[in-house]
Chains A and B, each alone.
Chain A
């Protein structure tokens, strides 16, 4: 049994570890140049600006998400059930699309400039942090909501019985209990700010990721790229270490048996301002962008300018791009979740260092900027099998490095809910291990496997670096199509593919939000 699990698990581990090992090896081989690049004052500046962006956007994102979660879960805000869903929907929109929308809306010569002569270019730190926070707050919102729902009412009542005021209870009981969720809500946007190049390239803010992007696309310098990639890996490891330190050994689980919905805080005269705040988040992140995109798509289709017509003629159809995006999403998520089953089994049923190692590799892969993975994958394929470069399997391999940890977590969550006794009962009734898995575990795993599948699907759809930089010739998926028109400044041509992308992403997101409500499956 363990061997049947170990062999595929080892193969998965090799795929995940390969690109990282290659990148680090490359940086070590060019030791002198690596050191020079890393100690360069320009690198230091990039590092500093990356950290500042990460800090500002993660604080903004976590504060927004946690505040909204508190309003929705713990107060008498109207239409709470609807807000719960709607506030998570911006997850369907990748931040670079948000950047496109706000650029076209606010910059000089943009929509507002032409309408009322107001230009507020969203460039630089403020704009980048705003867009990143706007599209990463749902992580913090979902995590904090889930944590708030797990806090037992009896704890509140005990505190009240000890004579504490509502404010003191929030501060001394509720906040400490949801601290891990708030910490995770800080962690995700920080990782995103570190990894993202789409938003910041458009909004002209330089980070490690933008520099890597220029090195890879405009002037191809391998050694410098390897050095910066190494710096990004080190930064991510530092983040992971910090996160583990902050979380410590705290596990704040309240038993489900005694769970009662906590008493809602009465907002009173703050009811309207609270409602306005919640509505503002939805309008800024979701309603306004979708309306603007729809308007531009319409304008671009009905009365295109000469440049737009010219650009559209040379590009592939957005509908074909949608088909390719869906194909890629289905293929990648099926392969990734399928391959996550053996290592997840290994970790749940026979824990030991091999299982732990695969899990840790997956965590590292998830935390790494996509562009660093692209770099590693490019080095690896160009050295080992150049004929593979720019093919679907390589793309899927790169997605696996990035998202296997989400597949692992989904399958593990499902497995932990299936008592091992069931498998033993099946074997006691005369079924061999593989058949026992197919007849008992697999049907029971289905909901969590579907949730994991939807999560990977969503991420593959939204991903930019792998879609853009590792694509086979002519395989222009929706993110690629959107990105190319946006970087050429033809925003109206970016509108339709953006809308299609949001529409495609809505389906897996719906599956996910459902699973999250029903079984507490992590969306983040």
Chain B
């Protein structure tokens, strides 16, 4: 499952710490980005993800730890200033030079090339992003999406080792965003450019990232493929961050996991009835089945119509609320009583003290327990 062969990391962070006024914004973070890979840095606002980007670019100095770019140490020993690192940066507000035309913006970083080589390279990159017709325009004459492409072209022009994108799509209208995302991914893949991009939008991270690194309070929670991040979250935080997630307390017994919504036949690698047998079960709306029943244990609170389907908010006897996804033809309404059943087609993720609890001796699909020192995919939360 994990690819360990023929990996050539372009950007490596090891134990990087950055404090602001004593409080760590980035806390012992280790991360690698492989050649041609797109890594999404995902986290809530204030989690330190932009600081990670600025550390790699060289606009911040780490208080501890080391950073390498293309095999050369750039921080944490040798200090290489931003202009000598060979990484391209795309800022959230694009930061296009307002006094230069599109072509001049793109050619800005080409000062190492000979004069005669600059124009062809500029043209080539502009063609790549589909902006060759706008070369003579000024930034303020472009739409947001076009500015975005120019910013990308400018970052790509000097053929950097990696491109860093800071919330690159957050300034675009929702209807434009989807298209621009696909374009940017296609361009990065076509040029085989390694990229790190920061986002707080989980959908964007899953859609664009070859791998996703989830950051919370300056620490790395998990870095993995989008599928595994979604299906096998390693921490409660990651589970809660993606999609709608409810956590149900469950007691581990010989028969499985006992919850107030019934028994879930699933075994964990835990000592049953050992006193510390309480876990939290992650249930998503499609794991919760409801059926009309006048003596059912669930009470429908709300019916949220979200187009193709309906999400019901169902209250359990303890007062806890779970969500259940039903087809848009469902006719139940608030106040109806229902029988609630946990009916997943797959093992559910369980957490204790915020960490995933492994399933009993199961295959590769289950969350792996823990931090193996030096392992690239695992993490100390």
Residues of A bordering B, CB below 8 Å:
419, 421-422, 424-432, 436, 439-440, 443-444
- Find out whether the CB atom of B111 lies under 8 angstroms from the CB atom of A430: yes
- Find out whether the CB atom of B98 lies under 8 angstroms from the CB atom of A429: no
- Find out whether the CB atom of A419 lies under 8 angstroms from the CB atom of B95: yes
Contact residues in B for A419 (Cβ distance below 8 Å): 93, 95
Cα of A436 to Cα of B59 in the assembled complex, Å = 14
- Find out whether the CB atom of B99 lies under 8 angstroms from the CB atom of A443: yes
Contact residues in A for B84 (Cβ distance below 8 Å): 430
Closest Cβ–Cβ distance, residue A446 to chain B (whole Å): 9
28 pairs, CB–CB < 8 Å, chain A vs chain B? A419-B93, A421-B95, A424-B89, A424-B95, A425-B95, A425-B154, A426-B108, A427-B58, A427-B81, A428-B57, A428-B83, A428-B89, A428-B109, A429-B83, A429-B108, A429-B155, A430-B83, A430-B84, A430-B86, A430-B109, A430-B111, A430-B158, A431-B83, A431-B109, A436-B83, A440-B97, A444-B98, A444-B99
Contact residues in B for A440 (Cβ distance below 8 Å): 97
Binary interface encoding of chain B residues 313-334 relative to chain A, with 1 for a CB under 8 A from any of its CBs, else 0: 0000000000000000000000
Task: Give the residues from 88 to 113 in chain B that come closer than 8 angstroms, CB to CB, to chain A.
Answer: 88-89, 91, 93, 95, 97-99, 108-109, 111-112
Binary interface encoding of chain B residues 43-80 relative to chain A, with 1 for a CB under 8 A from any of its CBs, else 0: 00000000000000111000000000000000000000
- Find out whether the CB atom of B111 lies under 8 angstroms from the CB atom of A431: yes
Cα of A424 to Cα of B99 in the assembled complex, Å = 16
B144 contacts partner chain A, Cβ-Cβ < 8 Å:
no
Closest Cβ–Cβ distance, residue B84 to chain A (whole Å): 7
Closest Cβ–Cβ distance, residue B42 to chain A (whole Å): 22
B205 contacts partner chain A, Cβ-Cβ < 8 Å:
no
Contact residues in A for B109 (Cβ distance below 8 Å): 428-431
- Find out whether the CB atom of B59 lies under 8 angstroms from the CB atom of A424: yes
Contact residues in A for B82 (Cβ distance below 8 Å): 424, 427-428
Closest Cβ–Cβ distance, residue B144 to chain A (whole Å): 16
Binary interface encoding of chain B residues 9-25 relative to chain A, with 1 for a CB under 8 A from any of its CBs, else 0: 00000000000000000
Cα of A233 to Cα of B282 in the assembled complex, Å = 72
Contact residues in B for A429 (Cβ distance below 8 Å): 83, 88, 108-109, 154-155, 158
Contact residues in A for B155 (Cβ distance below 8 Å): 428-429
Closest Cβ–Cβ distance, residue B233 to chain A (whole Å): 34
Cα of A428 to Cα of B84 in the assembled complex, Å = 8
Contact residues in A for B57 (Cβ distance below 8 Å): 424, 428
A419-B95, A426-B108, A427-B58 known; 11 new pairs, CB 8 Å cut-off, are: A424-B82, A424-B95, A425-B89, A425-B91, A425-B97, A427-B83, A428-B57, A428-B87, A429-B155, A430-B111, A432-B81
Closest Cβ–Cβ distance, residue B86 to chain A (whole Å): 8
Cα of A428 to Cα of B154 in the assembled complex, Å = 10
Contact residues in B for A430 (Cβ distance below 8 Å): 83-84, 86, 109, 111-112, 158
Closest B residue to A431 by CB, please name it.
B83
Cα of A444 to Cα of B97 in the assembled complex, Å = 9
Contact residues in A for B108 (Cβ distance below 8 Å): 426, 429, 431, 439
Contact residues in B for A422 (Cβ distance below 8 Å): 95, 97
Closest Cβ–Cβ distance, residue A416 to chain B (whole Å): 15
Contact residues in B for A432 (Cβ distance below 8 Å): 81, 83
Which of A425, A432, A439, A444 is the most central at the interface, judged by chain B CB atoms within 10 Å of its CB?
A: A425
Cα of A444 to Cα of B111 in the assembled complex, Å = 20
Contact residues in A for B98 (Cβ distance below 8 Å): 444
Cα of A225 to Cα of B87 in the assembled complex, Å = 62
Closest Cβ–Cβ distance, residue A518 to chain B (whole Å): 15
Contact residues in A for B59 (Cβ distance below 8 Å): 424, 427
Contact residues in B for A444 (Cβ distance below 8 Å): 98-99
Cα of A255 to Cα of B168 in the assembled complex, Å = 26
Closest B residue to A424 by CB, please name it.
B59
Closest Cβ–Cβ distance, residue B178 to chain A (whole Å): 25
Contact residues in A for B93 (Cβ distance below 8 Å): 419, 421
List 5 tightest A-B contacts by C-beta distance, closest first: A429-B109, A421-B95, A428-B89, A425-B95, A427-B82
Contact residues in A for B111 (Cβ distance below 8 Å): 430-431
Closest Cβ–Cβ distance, residue A37 to chain B (whole Å): 50
Cα of A57 to Cα of B88 in the assembled complex, Å = 59
Cα of A421 to Cα of B95 in the assembled complex, Å = 6
Closest B residue to A422 by CB, please name it.
B95
Closest Cβ–Cβ distance, residue A495 to chain B (whole Å): 45
Closest Cβ–Cβ distance, residue B366 to chain A (whole Å): 42
Q: Given A419-B93, A421-B93, A439-B108 in contact, is the A428-B88 Cβ separation under 8 Å?
A: yes
Cα of A422 to Cα of B57 in the assembled complex, Å = 14
Contact residues in B for A427 (Cβ distance below 8 Å): 58-59, 81-83
Cα of A117 to Cα of B111 in the assembled complex, Å = 78
Closest B residue to A432 by CB, please name it.
B83
Cα of A443 to Cα of B98 in the assembled complex, Å = 10
Cα of A425 to Cα of B95 in the assembled complex, Å = 7
Contact residues in A for B88 (Cβ distance below 8 Å): 428-429
Contact residues in B for A425 (Cβ distance below 8 Å): 89, 91, 95, 97, 154
Contact residues in A for B87 (Cβ distance below 8 Å): 428
- Find out whether the CB atom of A421 lies under 8 angstroms from the CB atom of B83: no
Cα of A432 to Cα of B84 in the assembled complex, Å = 9
Closest B residue to A444 by CB, please name it.
B99
Closest Cβ–Cβ distance, residue A445 to chain B (whole Å): 10
Closest A residue to B166 by CB, please name it.
A421
Cα of A436 to Cα of B84 in the assembled complex, Å = 13
Contact residues in B for A421 (Cβ distance below 8 Å): 91, 93, 95
Closest Cβ–Cβ distance, residue B69 to chain A (whole Å): 12
Cα of A426 to Cα of B95 in the assembled complex, Å = 9
Closest B residue to A439 by CB, please name it.
B108
Which of A426, A427, A428, A440 is the most central at the interface, judged by chain B CB atoms within 10 Å of its CB?
A: A428
Closest Cβ–Cβ distance, residue A286 to chain B (whole Å): 37
Cα of A425 to Cα of B153 in the assembled complex, Å = 13
Contact residues in A for B112 (Cβ distance below 8 Å): 430
Contact residues in B for A443 (Cβ distance below 8 Å): 99
Closest Cβ–Cβ distance, residue A161 to chain B (whole Å): 33
Contact residues in A for B81 (Cβ distance below 8 Å): 427, 432
Contact residues in B for A426 (Cβ distance below 8 Å): 97, 108
Closest B residue to A436 by CB, please name it.
B83
Cα of A439 to Cα of B57 in the assembled complex, Å = 20
Cα of A436 to Cα of B82 in the assembled complex, Å = 12
Closest Cβ–Cβ distance, residue B87 to chain A (whole Å): 7
